[in-house]
């Protein structure tokens, strides 16, 4: 049984006691959660959206809960310390809660399979949440938490399949020994400006989808990432960004062996921000023989494509923000048009 409660409505005690799914949206009046033991025994899903009256969830000790989604509760200032007692909770999403001021995240239930934190500007630490004990955790997302400081990233469970960190400038390290995360298939590290290196031991070995953007402090060049060892990798997106004065770019794009730095298993390759590169070397055609999508963007000096062209497998070529190449690849008139005209989809902006 599911119940949506818009502002101003109420329900009988009998109806509430039978709920399995409770959605409370756009409710501005003061609201507290203080349920007696067994009061909502069947409740499995709780979804609270845009409720200015919610300041705390301290009384939400409903052991049957499997899913809890909290979104746009502008005045909610804390999380319940009883989280770890929710012995059936598998999904916890907390979005857009600017007043949620947490010096340290409360311990999580070991049953959790998905944790998603987004745009919570006052969360400061997850050091004591015991995330390593969540032996069913599959997905971890932390987005736009500007005060979340991590000097030494806590260990993650080996069950993890997807990890996303985005726009968290105070995160200064990545999970230690993450090459032991043999279940990890998706990894996105975006705009975490203070990450300077990858953990020792190499990247997680079973990755299928890898995206690295905006890591302006990252020192090791692509040659040292160990990408060829990722024999399951299908999709790679890298934004190289602006390097310091006199520093070499991460990716030696004009090197004759440049494409061998990528695993031959790739079907999608997206490259951003090679600011000083003028030439893409030959060899892409032979080494990346399974490639279906190739995108290159914001490379203002780039004027030469690989002389031997692209692999026959390529279905989609996208060139954005590369003004010199835009002219050379123009349909019918560009001198590179004969090289790319057989590709089914070509997008040049």
pLDDT digits (tens, 9 = 90+) for 105-145: 899 999 999 999 999 999 999 988 999 999 999 999 999 99
Neighbour tally for 146: CB within 10 Å: 14
Structural tokens at position 347: 């997008």
Which element (helix H / strand E) includes 48? strand 45-49
pLDDT (0 to 100) of residue 182: 97
Lowest mean pLDDT among 15-19, 131-135, 229-233, 245-249: 245-249
In whole angstroms, what is the distance from residue 323 CA to residue 142 CA? 35
| The length of the chain, given as a count of residues | 349
From 173, 167, 137, select the one nearest 152 (Cα to Cα): 173
- Structure-model confidence comparison of residues 35 and 263, the more confident one: 263
| 56-60, 207-211, 249-253: least confident range | 249-253
Q: Residue 80 — pLDDT band, cuts 50, 70, 90?
A: confident
Beta bridge pairs of residue 164: 141, 188
Please state the domain extents for the chain.
220-349
pLDDT (tens digit per residue) in 223-236? 889 999 999 999 99
Radius of gyration of the chain (CA): 24
Q: What is the pLDDT of residue 13?
A: 47
Which range (54-58, 200-204, 257-261) has the least confidence? Answer: 54-58
* pLDDT value for 249: 58
Candidate from 75-89, 199-213, 331-345 with smallest mean pLDDT: 75-89
Nearest to 142 by CA among 178, 110, 198, 187: 187
**DSSP letter string, 191-256:** S-TT---PPTT-S-TT-SEEEEE--TT--S-GGGS-GGG-TT--EEEEE--PPPTTPPPSS-TTST
CA 271 to chain centre: 18
Chain centre distance of CA 186: 8
H helix or E strand, kind and range, residue 92: strand 91-95
Q: What percent of the chain has pLDDT over 90?
A: 64
Average pLDDT over residues 208-222: 91
Coil, strand or helix: which one is 285? helix
Taking 70 as the threshold, does the pLDDT of residue 257 lie above it?
yes
Average pLDDT over residues 24-36: 71
The better pLDDT of the pair 242, 114 is held by 114
| Residue 43 confidence (pLDDT) | 86
Count CB atoms within 10 A of the CB of residue 347.
10
d(C-alpha 180, C-alpha 251), whole Å: 26
- Cα 207 to its chain centre, rounded Å, is 14
pLDDT band at 33 (very low <50, low <70, confident <90, very high): low
Q: Is the pLDDT of residue 48 over 70?
A: yes
Beta bridge partners of 93: 69, 116
């Amino acid at each position: 049984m599911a119940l949506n409660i818009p502002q101003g409505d109420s329900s009988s005690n009998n109806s509430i006691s039978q709920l399995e799914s409770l959605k409370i949206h756009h409710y501005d009046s003061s609201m507290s959660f203080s349920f007696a033991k067994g009061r909502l025994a069947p409740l499995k899903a709780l979804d609270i959206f845009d409720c200015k009256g919610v300041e705390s969830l301290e009384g939400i000790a409903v052991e049957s809960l499997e899913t809890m989604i909290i979104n746009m509760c502008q005045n909610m200032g804390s999380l319940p310390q009883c989280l770890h007692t929710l012995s059936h909770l598998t999904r916890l999403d907390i979005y857009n809660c600017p007043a949620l001021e947490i010096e340290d995240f409360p311990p999580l239930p070991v049953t959790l399979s998905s944790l998603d934190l987004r745009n919570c500007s006052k969360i400061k630490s997850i050091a004591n949440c015991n995330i390593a004990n969540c032996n069913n955790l599959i997905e971890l997302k932390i987005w736009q938490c500007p005060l979340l400081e991590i000097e030494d990233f806590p260990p993650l469970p080996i069950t993890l399949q997807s990890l996303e960190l985005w726009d968290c400038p105070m995160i200064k390290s990545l999970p230690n020994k993450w090459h032991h995360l043999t279940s990890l298939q998706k990894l996105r590290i975006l705009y975490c400006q203070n990450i300077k290196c990858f953990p020792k031991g190499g990247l997680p070995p079973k990755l299928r989808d890898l995206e690295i953007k905006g890591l302006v402090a990252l020192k090791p060049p692509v040659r040292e990432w160990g990408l060829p060892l990722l024999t399951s990798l299908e999709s790679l997106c890298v934004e190289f960004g602006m390097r310091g004065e006199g520093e070499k770019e991460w990716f030696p794009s004009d090197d004759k062996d440049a494409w061998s730095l990528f695993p031959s298993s790739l079907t999608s390759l997206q490259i951003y921000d090679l600011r000083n590169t003028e030439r893409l070397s030959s060899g892409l055609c032979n080494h990346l023989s399974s490639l279906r999508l190739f995108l290159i963007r914001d490379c203002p000096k780039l004027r030469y494509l690989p002389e031997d062209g692209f692999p026959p497998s390529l279905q989609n070529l996208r060139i954005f923000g590369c003004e010199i190449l835009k002219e050379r690849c123009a349909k019918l008139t560009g001198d590179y048009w004969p090289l790319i005209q057989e590709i089914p989809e070509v997008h040049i902006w």
